[in-house]
Amino acid sequence: DLFSEVLASIRLKEPVAEIGCGSGQLTLLVARRSTYVVGADIDEKCIRAMKANSKLNCLDGYVDTVLCDSGSCLRNGSFGLVFTNPPYLPFDAEKPIDISIAAGSDLRVLRSLIFNSTRIAKRGALVLFSLSSLTGLKIGRPVLCRRIAFEEICIYVVAKSA
């Protein structure tokens, strides 16, 4: 919900990339605005689900999918907006289901996603990502925050320097 609010309020600069797109909920939200989006994910099942969802919503003409880890296969400086809703809880995944929430005890998964998101953004482009207060990280400027249970979740923005 936080990401939906933030994405709805900003001017999109094509092309757009979502790193860790999952089944494509946010990618499709952007595509509904007639914007070209590349969704990348490490999980082949997620990529298949996103392709199916984009067809079901008649948005497949605006969406391309890429199977790769943390957006590492995407070209430097290619996107006008990049966003990621990464796993951000500071523990190691023990089961496959943990992958979507576990950033690693050293936050290596989270750091890789943020690094690659920034790397593939064009100069001056915005990079948006979510963080939990449990990570202890403060990167960029918070745009929107919500307190839930024992943590605060924020969407942060950084602009890739020109």
What is the pTM (predicted TM-score) of this model? 0.92
CA distances from 52 to 33, 57, 63 (A): 19, 9, 11
Q: How many residues does the chain have?
A: 162
Query: Between the CA of residue 32 and those of 11, 14, 58, what are the distances in Å?
Result: 13, 13, 9
3-state class (DSSP) for residue 147: strand
What's the mean pLDDT when you consider all of the chain? 91
**Beta carbons of 58 and 35 less than 8 angstroms apart:** no
Express each pLDDT in 108-120 by its tens digit.
888 899 999 999 9
Per-residue pLDDT, averaged over 32-46, amounts to 93
The answer to whether 128 and 82 have CB atoms below 8 angstroms apart is: yes
